[in-house]
Structure 1
Amino acid sequence: MDSHFLDGHYQILKILNDREKGKIYLVEDVNLPSSQFIVKQLSPPNSNPQALTSLHRLFASKAATLEKLGQKHEQIQKLIAYFEENEEFYIVQEFIPGNPLTDEIIQGQPLREDQVITLLSEILETLVVTHNYGVIHQDIKPANIIRRESDKKLVLVNFGTVNEAITNTVENSEYMPIEQVNGNLKYNSDIYALGMVAIAALKGLPTKEISNLQNQRNKLTGEIIWRDKNLKVNRKLAKIINRMVRFDYRKRYQYATEVLDDLKKITNVDDEQQKQLQKKLLLVLIGIIVCITLGVAAWQLRSPKPVRDAQQTLYQKGENKYEEGNYEGAIEDFNQAIKLDPQNALAYNRRGDAYYRLGDYEQAQADSSQAILLNPQDANAYFDRGFAFSELGKYKEAIADYTQAIKLNSKDAYAYYGRGLARTQSKDNKGAIEDFSKAIALKPEYTEAYLQRGILRRRLRQRLEAIQDFDKVIKINPSDAKAYYQRGLTQSINKQKYAALKDYTDAININPKYIEAYLNRGDIYSDLGNKVEATEDYKTILQIDPKFIAAYIHRGIHRFSFGDYKGAIEDYTAALKLDTNNLAAYNNRGNAYLELGNKKAANQDYSRAIAINANNALAYYNRGVIRTKQKNKPGAIADFKKAARLFQQQGEQDSYQDAQREIAILQNNSAPAPTTRPKSGKIEKN
C-alpha cells in the first residue's frame, strides 16, 4: 500500500489524531476530486487469526448498521465506507465543515437558556432516531457535536459503537455516567452525557472543568450539585436537566422522546423578562390589601380557629418570603396553606404570583385559573392570569381576562394598562392607545402608562405627541431614567442629535449602568466625529457587561468609520464568539475585510450571512459588491437582483434604488462614475 493512500484511492491530506488505538486522517478520494472525508483506523488488541475472523464479522455488522443510520437523519455523521487492510480496520466518514461545540462552550461565558434549549432539542431529536435504530452513541460531548457551517445545524459525530467493538475498550469521558464507565451501557447513558453538556453550556465550563463538577455530589443521594446562587436558571429547565443526569439510570429519563416532550412545555425566557417582571411587581400591589382582607374574612367565616390560625401563619410566612424575593420558599408555604384548605383562593392567587416571578408562567396561569374557579368575582385573579397569558404569548386570552377584570372593577387603571400592553403585542394600536389613555385618566400620575403610550406613539410616527408623553413622565418624576432615554430615542429620530445627547446623558447620570443609553450616546458621538467620547461609551458598556454583543457591533462600526479596519474585525469577531449566527457581525466584518483587500474572507462572511438567513438583503448586496470587484459579472447581477427584490419587499426604498443602479451599470457595461460604485458594502447595526 502506498504510504499516502488508503484502500488505494484515499489520499491522506493530514493526520488529525495519532492515538495508540489507531489514527484519524483527513483524506481526499482521488476518484472524486475535491471530496474530503474522515478515515478512522481501528487497531484490534491482538492479531490472533481466530480473533480477527470474529472481529471481521462484528466490524462488518456494526459498520453496516452505522452506514444505514447515517441515511436516516441529516444531523448524523454519515459512514461512507469501511474496509480492512494489513489486519487493521478502517471506517470512512463524512467530513463536516464547521466548528465543534467546544468553540461555543467557553470558560466563564455561559450560553443563554434559549440557546441551551435549542441545543438539547436538536441533539435529542437525533438521539430519537439513533436509539430507535438500536444504536447508542456512547461518547456525547462538545467535541463530538459539530455546528455545520452550511446551515448552522448541530451534527452528532464519532459514534463509539464500532470503536468499542474492535478495540474492546471504552474511552473514559468526563461526560459519561457511572454505569457506562462500569461497562453497563444503557440507552439513557446518552441522555446523561447530553445533560452534562447542557450544564457545561449553562455554566460556561470547558471539558477540563467537568471532572471537578462530577466530584461535586450530594453525599446522601450521589446527585451532581451544579446550581449555585450565581446561576439563575428557569426552574422547569433545571428540573429537566436534573432528571437527565440522575446518578441512578433507573431514575433518569428512559427515552429521548420524554425529554423532548418536557422541553416543549417550556416557554423560552424573553429578553424583556426583567422589564416585565418589574412592571408586574408595581401592578399587582394594588390588589394585595383588598385580597388579603377578603381572604382573611372568608377564612374566619369558614374555618375552625386552630386550622384558621395555621393557615394564617403559613400564608403570612409565604407572604413575607415573597416580599423578600424568596419565591421558592414562598411557594412551599403557600403549598402547605392550600393543603390545609384546598378552597383557599387567596393562597392560589399569591402562589401564582410567586410562580410568575420565577418565570413559570404556565403554573402561574394554572393557579390564577384555580383562584378564579374558587372565586369568579375576583378581579385581581383575572388581572394576574392576564399577565401570565401575556408572557405565554397568548394575547387574545390575556385581553379577555383584562376585559373581565375591568367589568368587575371599571376603575382599575392597572387592568387598562395591562390590556394596553397586550393590545400593543396584538398590533391593535388604536385600542392600546385608548387603554393607556383610560389608565391615565383614572390615575393622572401613572408614569408607566405615559411611557408606553409615548413609545407606541413614536412607532406610529406621532413623534410630537410621544415627546409630550415623555415630558409628562419627567415632570411627574424627574428621576425616571427610562423617560429621558425614550425621549432621547425620539429626538434622535427627529435628527435632533444634541437634544438626544443631553437626554441620554441625563439617563446615564440617573442610572450609571444604563447600557442602552451609553450605546445610543456612543452612536451619536460617532456620527458627530467625537471619536474619543464614542470609544469611551462603548468601552464603558463592555466593562458593565462584557457579553453585550451590540457594543462590539457598534464599536466595530465606529472603528470602521475612521479607518481602523483591523480593530473593527476584532470587534466583529468578538461578537461572533458570543453569537455564531450574528448577521450584522458577518456583514460588517466582510466590509472590513474588503477594505483591507481580503476579498476571499469578505466573500466568505457575506456567504455565511446568507446561509444563516436567505432573506438578508444586505448580504446579497454586499456580495454583489465583492463579485463586481472580482469581475464576476453574472454572479454580481444575480446578487444585486436578489437584494433589490428583498429591499423592495422590506420597504427599503433607498437601498432598492442603490441595487437597481448597480444592476443597470453592470448590464450596460458602462464605467461607473467615481461616486456611483460603493467602495464597500452596506453597514448593518442590528
Structure 2
Amino acid sequence: MTGSQLGGRYRIIKQLGEGGFGATFLAADSHLPGNHNCLVKQLKPAATDPATLDIARRLFDTEAKVLHELGSHPQIPQLLAYFEENQQFYLVEEFIPGRELSEEMAERGQWGETEVISLVAGLLDILAFVHGKNAIHRDVNPRNIIRRHSDGKLVLIDFGAVKQITTQMVGAPGASGFTVCIGTPGYMPCEQALGKPKFSSDIYAVGMIAIEALTGVQSLQLPKDGETEEIIWRDKANVSPEFGNFLDKMVRYDFRERYAAAAEAKAALEMLQQATLATVPIMQPVINPPVKATGKKPLKLLALLLVLLGSAGGGGVYLLNAFNSASANELYDRALTLYNLNRYEEALGFYDKALSIVPEYAEVWQGKGKVLLDLQRYDEALAAYDRAIQIQPDSLDAWTGRGFALDALQRWEEALAAFDRVITANPDTAIAWEGKGNVLLHWLLYEQAISAYDQALKLQPDSATMWYNRGWALQNLQEWKQAINSYDKSLELKFDNATTWYHRGNCLMQINKNQEAVASYDKVVRFQPKHHPAWFSRGIAQMKMNRYEDAITSFQQATQLKPNHPASWYNLAWSLQQLRRYEQAIDAYNTVLELQPSQYLAWYNIGNSLYNLQRYQEAIHAYDEAVYSQQNHAESWYSRGNALFALTRYAEAISSYEKAIRYQPDYDEAKAGKKRAEKKQAEIEELLRKKQQPPQPPPKKMVNGDG
C-alpha cells in the first residue's frame, strides 16, 4: 500500500501498525503545502454484504463526529477527515511527533511522587474533557499517551471508539448493539473486560499507569489480593499515605468504589495538592511598631546615653532598636557560617532567633528560605521567600530563591515568572538563567533550555551543574557529540560525578564508541559500585563488541544489584548463549520468564538453546510458548519447523514454515526449509505408495513353439 493515494489526496508513506481492528499508516496530505504529514487509520469491516456495510456506515459517521468533537482539545489529535473508499473506511488524524510514555517509563524506572502527581493531573485534565463529552476512551495505557516534542505536553491518542466501529460491524443486520471487549490487559478493569466500560474504567487505567510509574513494576506483574482482587503495590513504592489512598480509590476492583469520572478524581487530587502545597500569598510590606525595651541594663547608663543622643523620647527607642539590630546581625552572621559548613538545622535555629528579635529582617527570611530549600522543605522555603519579598519587594535574591522553591514544587509556570522577573531587572544574573533553563528542561523544551544555559554559562562558566544540564538537553535532542563535550566540561569541574560519567557513556555508545563508553561506565562503578544502570549499560557495550565473557561479568553484577530486572537476566542469558553455554543460558532465560511470563523472546531463545543441545521435543514446546505469546513472530515459526524437521515430522514442519512465510513473506530461509521438508515428505509418500502396491507377478516364461 506504500506509495498509493487515498481519498484523492493522502499519499501513504509507510505502515505504522496493524491489528484486528485495522491498520495505521503515516501519510502526506498532497493538498497542503510541504506535504503535511498525517495519520490514516483504515478500519476493516468483518463482512462486505450490503446490510453489514450499511450498519458500518452509520456507526462510522456517528463515531467520527464524536472524534471530531474530541479533537477540539489541544491534547487530543484532531480528526482532519473521514471517508469511505472501495468499501473500506478511513479516518485521517493529526500526526503528533513525540515519544510514547511507555518508552519514557521503561527508561526511567521508578518515578518520584511529585512527578507521578503531575502525570496523573495532566491525564485527568484531558479525560475530564472527554467524559464531559459523554465519551469513554476505553484504551488508556502508556503506549496511547504521547509526550509531544513541541511543548512536552501529554497527548491522548487511539480512542477505543475507533475500535468499536469495527467490532460493531460484525454479525447479522440488527446485531450492532452488542459490546465487545476493547482495551489493554493490565490497564483494563473487570467491567471493561466483560464488555461494559464506564467512565471509571478510564480512571482505573490512569491509576494503574501511576502505580506502574511509582513502583517500576509492569501492571500485569503486580500481585492481587486473593480474596478481594485489589492490587497490592504500596510495599513497592515510596508514597505518602494521602496520595496512596487516592490511587487505591482509582483502581478499586468494584467500579462503584472508584471515582465516578475524571472531573471527580481531578477535584479530589486538587484538594490533596492544596492540603500539601499551601503557601503564603505575597502582601504589601507591614511596618511593625517599634520594639519595646525588655532588657535590664542599668538605668544610669541608659539615661546617660539618652542625653548624649539629645532626646529622652525618640532617641531611647532608636537606641534599643540599634541594640536589637546588632544582636540580630550577629545571629545572622553565625547562621550564615553554619550554613556554609552544611550544618543546616543549627543554621535554621539561629535564623529563627534573629527573627524573634527583628521580625522584619528581609535578609534573614531569605537566608532561612535557602536553608529550607537545601533541607528539601520546599513549602516552608517558599513561605520564607514570600515573607522576604513582602518586606523587600525588589530583592532579586528572594525572587530567585522563590523561583527555585516553586521549581521544586513543580509549579513551573510560577517559577518561570519569578526567574524572568529577575532577568528583566538584571540580565547578568547567572543563577536566574540557570533556573529558567531548569524549568524549560522540565517542559522538555530542550533547545530553549540550552539557550538559557548558554546565557548562564557566559556569566558563570565554572558551574558543573549547568554544563551537565546542558549536556542532558543535548542528549535528548540526540546531539550526541555536543552532549559529550558538555559532559566533559562538567567533569573538568567535578570529576567524581557518577551521573555525568553514566550519561557520557550512553552518548558514546550511541555513536558506536563502545570502548570509550565502557571506560566511562568504569568511572561510574568506581565512584558508585552499586550503580545498576552503569553495570547494565557496560554489559550492553561489551556485547556490541562481541566481548561476551566481559559482558557476562557486567550482567552478573547487574542481576545481583537488581534481581527483578528482566533485561539484565535476558542479556546475561544471551551472552551465555553466544558462548554456547546453553544450560546456563536456559536457566537465565527461565528467570526472565519468572519476572515476565509473556516474554516471547525468552521462550524463543530457550528453544534455540535446546535445539543446539539436540533436545528437539523440548525445543518445540518452547517455540509453542513463544508463538502463543507473539503469534506473528516469524523466527519462532521457522525454528519450530527446523526442530520438527530434525524429528522427521515433515508435514508439521511444512506447516510451521508456511506460518513463518505468512508473517514474513521475504523470509528466504523459511522458503528453503519448506522446500527441503516438502522434498522429504514426497520421498516418504513415494516409499509408502510403493509399499502399498500389490507385488507384480513374475513375467511369463516363453516356450519354443508358443504363440
- TM-score in terms of structure 2 length: 0.43
Larger Cα Rg: Structure 1 or Structure 2? 2
Q: Normalising by the residue count of structure 1, what TM-score does the alignment of the two structures yield?
A: 0.44
